[in-house]
Amino acid sequence: MKNTQNIYDNDTFFEGYMKLRDNPDNMNINLVNPAFFSLAPDLTGKIVLDLGCGYGENCAKFLCLGAAKVVGIDISEKMLNVAKADTNGIEYILADLNDLSDITGKYDAVFSSMAVHYVEDFNKLCAQVANLLIDGGYFIFSQEHPFSTSPMNGPSWTRDEDGKRTHYNLSDYGRLGRRETTWFVDGVIKYHRRFSDLINSLVDNGFLVEKVLEPLPSEEVLVKLPSYAKEFDKQSFMLIRGRKIREIVTPAVQ
Amino acid sequence: MKNTQNIYDNDTFFEGYMKLRDNPDNMNINLVNPAFFSLAPDLTGKIVLDLGCGYGENCAKFLCLGAAKVVGIDISEKMLNVAKADTNGIEYILADLNDLSDITGKYDAVFSSMAVHYVEDFNKLCAQVANLLIDGGYFIFSQEHPFSTSPMNGPSWTRDEDGKRTHYNLSDYGRLGRRETTWFVDGVIKYHRRFSDLINSLVDNGFLVEKVLEPLPSEEVLVKLPSYAKEFDKQSFMLIRGRKIREIVTPAVQ
């Protein structure tokens, strides 16, 4: 894990992040989570893996939804220490999502919330997740929308004289790979992939793409948080549900 | 077909369009077509339908690629008249892609090049295409990239003092539906759909999404047409290959 960034163990980052997560107005609660859990199959009695589990919030939810066993993986010892203090019945493993080859077992569902954009090689991740899934198992993840990871200089908007957003400044969409941005601290590394790159990596590794979501704020959320209206101009999140398929019966075209 | 626009039979549009298509520097030849034909399966002996065939350029290519029979559909009588003068062995039908219910027969592959963004109800199109395909048959289409159909006021760029493009002005991505733009003539109607809307309509109508392409210019094209470098900031086209599946063997998660 020597060469992988671990911003979550940086004190400044950790404090900023925990404050954000505790804020009931954060985008995870209002936009990502409803879409994320809408993609979950019935978890009753299932074995679940959570990639980039952070302080274990979703792991606890998977248990509530009936999962028999939950394993959470994160690179941050600080996050896992918070996780371990809070919950029972969940196994936490300190590991790097860039290489899951030491993770053992077979899972009914692999979830990952807002972590995949930190992984350098998405194709390798798909291959390793496929290995960890039973036939018919689900890979469900949320990540920053390719719109957000696209610009080399980080996301930005153009505003009119009154400060109102007029449009999002889209650039570099076709330039794949490493992006260095600031989020609480400088030098946060993410990886930009296009929509097609995500879908094709899933397909190439034996996943059926079952659903793609680009969540928009509900009217209720817009009343509470009017600034979320910007999501109608440029979306912030993308979620995908893939299913590991054993066999597709497509007779040769006759 | 009373309520469907038919810009292709407008004289001004038709002349402008034919000049564009005859220009060897056009984006269809340099960017869309190589990606489009890379998605084609072996067409030897196959029965092919071309939706929005225009003046039949691709229909002739499908014959060259070995297709036993090609049917081309277009709403423009002017376009079909050009098509009929040029080729043999192809059946042309004057019809509106907004409703394919009068089209009969079963096809091994349904192609559509740069026409799907004119269709109001993509979900209905997917359902009707699925009905026209044999099990295992392909639906392969190119369309304007959602980036291009997104802004309510049409696509635009911000440029620096030297006139160099700095970024694409992205807005209205989450606002689906009708767009009125100018292309040779005023009042050209297109329909904006997001990535997720396209994929989910295909999946919901029994298609396996096999490949998504967002084609970038080759080095050869960039030498000839340096302005195409803008595609690395904002892509213009998206192509998808779906396959009509009979059955997916995904055992229930145990």
Could you read off the pLDDT tens digit of each residue along chain B, which spans 254 residues?
445 667 777 777 777 777 766 777 788 888 999 999 999 999 999 999 999 999 899 999 999 999 999 999 999 888 888 888 766 779 999 999 999 999 999 999 999 999 999 999 999 999 999 999 999 999 999 999 999 999 999 999 999 999 999 999 999 999 999 999 877 777 789 999 999 999 999 999 999 999 999 999 999 999 999 999 999 999 999 999 999 987 665 554 44
Max intra-chain CA distance, chain A: 63
pLDDT at A1: 44
Average pLDDT over residues A198-219: 97
Question: Which residues of chain A make contact with B210, given a CB cutoff of 8 A?
Answer: 203
Per-residue pLDDT of A58-68, as tens digits, reads 999 999 999 99
Asked if the model's pLDDT at residue A146 lies above 90, the reply is yes
Cβ separation A233–B174 shorter than 8 A = yes
Give the mutation candidate from B47, B147, B173 for the A interface (greatest A CB count, under 10 A): B173
Give the mutation candidate from A176, A198, A233 for the B interface (greatest B CB count, under 10 A): A233
Which residues 6+ apart lie within 8 Å of B213 measured at CB? Answer: A196, B35, B38, B39, B238, B239, B240
Say how far apart CA A142 and CA A116 lie, in whole Å: 8
A 10 A CB-CB count for B174 gives 19
Q: What are phi and psi of A152, to 5 degrees?
A: -55, -35
Asked if the model's pLDDT at residue A88 lies above 80, the reply is no
Instruction: Give the nearest partner residue to B234 out of A173, A235, A244, using CB atoms.
Output: A173
Question: Which residues of chain A make contact with B247, given a CB cutoff of 8 A?
Answer: 248-249
DSSP per position, A72-93: EEES-HHHHHHHHHH-SSEEEE
Structure token pair of residue B98: 């907004």
To the nearest whole Å, the CA of A248 is away from the closest chain B CA by 5
Q: What are phi and psi of A246, to 5 degrees?
A: -85, -40
Which residues 6+ apart lie within 8 Å of A70 measured at CB? Answer: A47, A48, A49, A50, A59, A62, A63, A89, A90, A91
Cβ separation B174–A232 shorter than 8 A = yes
Q: Which residues pair with B168 in a beta bridge?
A: A170, B157
Q: Which helix (H) or strand (E) holds A112?
A: strand A107-113
